[in-house]
Structure 1
Amino acid sequence: MKKLILASALSICSFGAFAEVAVIVNPGNASALDADTIKKIYLGKAKSFDNGNKVNPATQNGTAIADEFNSKVVGKSSSQLNAYWSKLVFTGKGTPPEKFDTDQAVIDFVAANADSIGYIDSSKATDKVKVVATF
């Protein structure tokens, strides 16, 4: 009986642990973005949207959504991604995305900047931003 209760509790926790990540842009941005392009933006390999406008990425600092995004989209753990950016910064080959502490801070940043892209928990999306992908 204890095993059944433990298994049930673990399965319930595992459903709540993985939130859906929404990639957001400013509502005025009409660029098409696929998973590969989003990954390139967050690795500093793509510096502009398909319309030629410079991209200004926003990331989250140490949140569960950041861990999900890094794993699902970028294909790296948060520590691997931090090490990656540290190397690029040290060698002068890149500037990491601007970091924010909450979904709301990312929403406010993206809503205020036409050239920005960010990610949030999909349940937090508002009409201030446009969702271009979910993972």
Structure 2
Amino acid sequence: MHTPVSTLRRLLLAAALLAGASCHADVVVIVSAKNPVKALSGEQAADLFLGKSADFPNGLHAVPIDQSEGSPVRDAFYLKTSGKAPAQMKAHWARMLFTGRGQPPVESGDNAAIKRLVADNPNLVGYIDRSALDPSVRAVLSIH
């Protein structure tokens, strides 16, 4: 028979293993090659994607776009920039929506879809796995 403590330990171990698996993604925050922004800090990127800021550091309006929910790249991005797991992100956006303080970034697909959208629009900011980088976009932050 499992005691509540042993069940809790198993759940915590499972959560740690899942978090560790998503942390191995080598994520980069990207902008269009046409965008003049050269770099973002982790805090600036988190602020854009958490709805705390609407502009790049140079004043250009920024529109963050998310990878699809459940994506390992998405989970790694949020965990590493904001310290928030997927359930915490859902709670964050539920609060933001309820209070009228913001809308979550639009989910726009996988690495290829995000890269294609960002390359075509200097106002967009996204994140992809480093392996998907090409000259159409510029990495402004590496997240290890």
Unaligned runs of 5+ in 1: 1-13
Candidates 27, 31, 37, aligned match of 1:25: 31
**Could you tell me how far apart the structure 2 residues matched to 1:80 and 1:36 are?**
17
Instruction: Give 1:35's aligned residue.
Output: 42
Which amino acid letter does the alignment assign opposite residue 36 of structure 1? E
Which 4+ runs in 1 deviate beyond 6 A? 14-17
Instruction: Give 1:127's aligned residue.
Output: 135
**Could you tell me how far apart the structure 1 residues matched to 2:96 and 2:48 are?**
14
**Could you tell me how far apart the structure 1 residues matched to 2:22 and 2:94 are?**
32
Instruction: Give 1:59's aligned residue.
Output: 66
CA contact (8 A) 2:22 2:75 kept: no
Candidates 92, 109, 112, aligned match of 1:101: 109
CA contact (8 A) 1:42 1:74 kept: no
TM-score of the pair, normalised by structure 2: 0.78
Instruction: Give 1:72's aligned residue.
Output: 80
Matched, 1:83 2:91: yes
**Could you tell me how far apart the structure 2 residues matched to 1:64 and 1:89 are?**
24
Q: CA RMSD in A?
A: 1.7
Instruction: Give 1:50's aligned residue.
Output: 57
Aligned-pair identity (%): 34
Instruction: Give 2:16's aligned residue.
Output: none
Unaligned runs of 5+ in 2: 1-19
**Could you tell me how far apart the structure 1 residues matched to 2:80 and 2:23 are?**
14
CA contact (8 A) 2:22 2:73 kept: no
CA contact (8 A) 2:63 2:125 kept: yes
**Could you tell me how far apart the structure 2 residues matched to 1:111 and 1:101 are?**
14
CA contact (8 A) 1:24 1:120 kept: yes
Q: Residues 57-113 of structure 1, C-alpha deviation per residue, up to 9 Å, x if partnerless?
A: 011122000111011112100121121112211221101111122111100111111
